Structure 1
Amino acid sequence: MSGEMEAAGDALTGGLAAHAVDRETHKGGAHGDHAHDGPCPNCGAALAGPYCAQCGQAAHIHRSLHSLGHDILHGVFHFEGRIWRTLPELAFHPGRLTRRFIDGERAKFVSPMALFLFTVFLMFAVFGFTGGALLGSSPEGVTVMKGTPPVGDWRSGIKEEYGRAEKDIAALKASRAAPGVSVADREALDRKIEQRIDERDAMAGLATGDWEKVAELGKRSEAKRAADARKGDGESEGAGGLNSGVPWLDRAVNDGLKKANDNPQLLLYKLKTSGYKYSWALIPLSVPFLWLLFFWRRDIHLYDHAIFATYSISFMMLLVIMLSLVAIAGVSGWLWGMALLIIPPIHMYKQLRGAYGLSRAGAAVRLIFLLSFAIIVLTLFGLMLLAMGVLD
């Protein structure tokens, strides 16, 4: 009798254990183990756990609005957590930050390129509001310094140009309607009237932010000028123009310079938009000059210089953003002007010492060269933007 009871107890215990195993298996199949069967949906590698050993993607794929919101919040706060560790290091210990990132301590910091792109976006947003206070322009109605009117109000300049265009159009139409005007003169006046109308409309587009209209007018003007060039119109190849011996280059440069002279506001807009779009070019322009400072050291690579340049440029852009906001707030110009002159060399010196392990004297000597190189790089970048703004 006791043997039968023991057998029944063993059977009951085994059944409960099997039920528990089945329950866990079913649970795992719904939320974990079942998702681990088969290849990784991202890279196709065999799964052996909750994450792919090849690409790191989670084996269980969420497909719900809740999971989407979780991903967004995780991305925002994960970036925010890293950026609050990165910015103090970048501001006060730039050399240490550069060295730590180069040596592989990267998970806790924002990568240089991510920080650079974030800074460019922030600069675009801030300058869209301030109008570039440090460059001598500000949005309409904003006073840059207390007690003084807005400096270089760009919208006022556009309005003045618009008014001049209206007067020129009226005068040209009056000249065309005058008696005794020849057919050739009337055709020339028609071309001038049409050109001034396009320029007037471009000013209106700049004032209202209708960039599609500005771009359309620019393309139409370029098409007209190209047609005139094909007809043998040599006005753009005058005495003051380029004469390199390459006809297509001469026409492009001289035509672009004429457009810049006729419509400087449009050129300024092109330079501004190109500056944001091609700001990344500052990095490859800077690397060769940094290499010249350490070309004999085998332990320093071009990658190190690229990290140095990216973090340094990001800091300089953040500094310009901050000082622009300070200028808009009404702080005296000599204060932020002195900050703009003093802070960059100090930051470069500290970054040189920490990133490359230099002595005080070695960092000071290289700082002199680096400041000169920075001016050269900015000049090259400005010429590149000017060429793109003129030739585009």
Structure 2
Amino acid sequence: MDGLGSLFGRHKAFVPEPGQKCLNCETELQGRFCYACGQDASNHHRHILHMIVDSIESLFHLDGRLWRTLPPLFFRPGTLAKDYMSGKLARHVPPFRTFLVALLLFIFVSEGLTHHLAKEFEHKTEEAAHALHDPAAVKAHGDALLKSAQADYAKETAALQKERADDLKDATSSEEKALVEASYTRAFAAEKAEYDAVAADPIAAATHDLELTSKGMAVLDDEEISVRSFAYDEKGAGSLKAKINKALKNPEALMLTMFGWGHRLAVLLLPLMTLALGLLYVYRKRFYLFDHFLVACNMMSFIFLTNALVLALPAEAMEWGFGVLTIWTPIYIFMTLRGAYGSGILGALIKTLLLWLTTTISFALLVAGIFLVSVNGF
């Protein structure tokens, strides 16, 4: 608000009277701000709204520089870091301050989404628990499950028939064709068994589904169970495998817990990206670790701000938003390396790939660590 107001000249020019002194250090004023202590000499008897806006401005330091910082941050990658490294400090918001504000906004939006998802999860389990005691609700849920099973069965069967035809075309011998037929016979039988389990008794299927949902658990199909490859053992309930198995049977609660940990630990990506840039440009002696830190601050500010914007979108648009970011982010990194370091096209492409892989692997390890921490809560 304060930064936007600066575009329209909200602050009137202040001219001190001859001989007027600073109220803080009693130095004779030469302008609105005391050159000795920096205090604002304009009238401090302001209305409450102005005090609130000034408090926001003090916290975020959002002055007119904000509107000279955001456009290049989003659309001219690398120019902010290049300006800062060349000594042009006053025209833009300092990179680390931009990063802190972006991180704060990202955490704020993420915490809001986490709270919303937790409420939805709680509401879903409560609804399922109440529905179990309502025969009409159980029947309605059974009808919905049957309808969904019919649609899924038709879709999966059609897909299997197409895949079977393609695989039979590729088979070069009668033995290979026999193996293909046997494989797809089992696949069709599995799909039919899954459908029949619901069609034979929709009420029982609905009751089972509602019971699991009321406990925050999901229905597991054969493929998911085989991938997990281990069974839950009540005797070993305290073991890591048992906890992992129990957590995987509660996917919504697990994802909620991981997301809650993940967005709080995302700050660790800043030092990781700084070190990665330092290794990629270790041969460029004129760049110091501080320079790489500036570039990393700008890139992480972009990533946190854009992810915060996407997380704030409605659920229907969120998937499209992350799809756009999947394309835009590597392009942004490529343009940043070109703009900040003056890398050639080929060099920037190679470094973008390496940086992308490094940060992705680092984030994957971070998620794995979060997963191990998360399962301890199950």
Query: Which of 69, 82, 90 in structure 2 is aligned with 1:99?
Result: 82
Unmatched runs of 5 consecutive residues or more in structure 1? 1-26, 38-46, 141-152, 167-199, 204-232, 242-253
Residue 285 of structure 1 corresponds to: 272
- Measured after TM superposition, the shift of residue 360 of structure 1 is 1.3
Residue 386 of structure 1 corresponds to: 371
TM-score, normalised on structure 2? Answer: 0.54
Tell whether the 8 Å contact from 1:158 to 1:265 is kept in structure 2 after alignment.
no
Can you list the C-alpha shifts for 1:253-294, whole angstroms capped at 9, x where unaligned? x7x647735755554343333233332111112222222211
Amino acid at match of 2:236: E
Which of the two has higher C-alpha Rg?
Answer: 1
Amino acid at match of 1:371: W
Whether 1:85 and 2:68 are equivalent positions in the alignment is yes
Query: Which of 344, 358, 370 in structure 1 is aligned with 2:355?
Result: 370
**CA distance in 2 between partners of 1:60 and 1:101 (Å):** 31
Residue 32 of structure 1 corresponds to: 21
Residue 305 of structure 1 corresponds to: 292
Tell whether the 8 Å contact from 2:78 to 2:337 is kept in structure 1 after alignment.
yes
**CA distance in 1 between partners of 2:322 and 2:328 (Å):** 10
- Measured after TM superposition, the shift of residue 376 of structure 1 is 1.3
Residue 328 of structure 2 corresponds to: 343
Q: Which SS does the other structure have where 2:93 is aligned?
A: coil
Q: Which SS does the other structure have where 2:259 is aligned?
A: helix
Matches within 5 A, 1:192-207: none
**CA distance in 2 between partners of 1:305 and 1:120 (Å):** 18
TM-score, normalised on structure 1? Answer: 0.53
Can you list the C-alpha shifts for 1:101-138, whole angstroms capped at 9, x where unaligned? 23332333222333233223333444566669xxxx97
Residue 95 of structure 2 corresponds to: 112
Unmatched runs of 5 consecutive residues or more in structure 2? 1-16, 134-212, 217-233
Amino acid at match of 1:97: L
Residue 236 of structure 2 corresponds to: 235
**CA distance in 1 between partners of 2:52 and 2:131 (Å):** 54
Q: 1:72 to 1:272 in 2, by over 3 A?
A: same
Matches within 5 A, 1:1-392: 32=21, 35-37=24-26, 56-57=38-39, 62=44, 68=51, 71-72=54-55, 75=58, 79=62, 81-127=64-110, 154=121, 157-159=124-126, 235-236=236-237, 241=241, 257=244, 260=247, 265-324=252-311, 328=315, 330=316, 336=321, 338-391=323-376
Amino acid at match of 1:287: T
Q: Tell me the C-alpha RMSD between the 2 structures.
A: 4.6
Q: Which SS does the other structure have where 1:113 is aligned?
A: helix
**CA distance in 1 between partners of 2:23 and 2:238 (Å):** 75
- Aligned identity (percent) is 26
**CA distance in 2 between partners of 1:317 and 1:101 (Å):** 21
Amino acid at match of 1:300: F
Q: Which SS does the other structure have where 1:36 is aligned?
A: coil
**CA distance in 2 between partners of 1:63 and 1:264 (Å):** 56
Tell whether the 8 Å contact from 2:334 to 2:348 is kept in structure 1 after alignment.
yes
**CA distance in 2 between partners of 1:237 and 1:139 (Å):** 25
Can you list the C-alpha shifts for 1:12-46, whole angstroms capped at 9, x where unaligned? xxxxxxxxxxxxxxx889x6267534xxxxxxxxx
